[in-house]
Structure 1
Amino acid sequence: MKYIFGNWKMYLNTQQSIDLAREFAQLVQDGDGVEYAVFPNTLAFYDVAAELKNSPVATGAQNVGWTPQGAYTGSTSAFMFSDAGAKYALVGHSERRHVFGETNEDVRKRLEASIDVGLTPVLCIGETKEDRDADKTEYRLKKQLLKAFENLSLNGNRVIVAYEPVWAIGTGDACVPEEAQRVINLIKQEIKQYVDTDVPVLYGGSVSADNVVSYVSLPDIDGVLVGGASSKAESFMTLINNAISA
Structure 2
Amino acid sequence: MRTAFMAGNWKMNKTPSEAVAFAKELVEALKGANAKALVAPTFVALPGVAEVVKGSNVLLGAQNMASVESGAHTGEVSADMLLDIGVQYVILGHSERRAIYGETDSLINTKVKFAIEKGLLPILCVGETLEEREAGKLEEVILTQVKEGLKGVSEADLAKVTIAYEPVWAIGTGKTATPDDADAVHKYIRKVIADLYSGSAADAIIIQYGGSVKPDNVKELMAMENIDGALVGGASLKTDSFKSIVFFDK
TM-score (norm 2): 0.94
Partner of 2:222: 216
Partner of 1:185: 187
> Cα RMSD (Å) of the superposition?
1.3
Amino acid at match of 1:16: E
What are the equivalent positions in structure 2 for 1:90-105 lying under 5 Å apart?
90-105=91-106
- Distance in 1 separating the partners of 2:244 and 2:142: 31
| Contact map agreement 2:222 2:229 (CA 8 A) in 1 | yes
What are the equivalent positions in structure 2 for 1:161-240 lying under 5 Å apart?
161-196=163-198, 197=201, 198-240=204-246
Cα deviation, residue 189, structure 1: 1.1
| Contact map agreement 2:6 2:245 (CA 8 A) in 1 | no
What are the equivalent positions in structure 2 for 1:31-180 lying under 5 Å apart?
32-153=33-154, 156=157, 158-180=160-182
Post-superposition Cα deviations, 1:69-105, rounded to whole Å, max 9, x if no partner, equal 1111100012221221111000000000001111111
Amino acid at match of 1:72: H
Post-superposition Cα deviations, 1:112-131, rounded to whole Å, max 9, x if no partner, equal 11101111100000000110
Which of the residues 239, 245, 249 maps onto 1:244? Answer: 249
Stretch moving more, 191-200 or 94-103: 191-200
Cα deviation, residue 154, structure 1: 5.9
| Contact map agreement 1:38 1:58 (CA 8 A) in 2 | yes
Specify every segment of 5 or more residues in structure 1 that has no aligned partner in the other structure, as ranges: none
TM-score (norm 1): 0.95
Post-superposition Cα deviations, 1:179-232, rounded to whole Å, max 9, x if no partner, equal 000110000110122334321101001110111111111111001110011011
Same amino acid, percent of matched pairs: 37
Amino acid at match of 1:178: D
Cα deviation, residue 238, structure 1: 2.5
- Number of aligned residue pairs: give it: 243
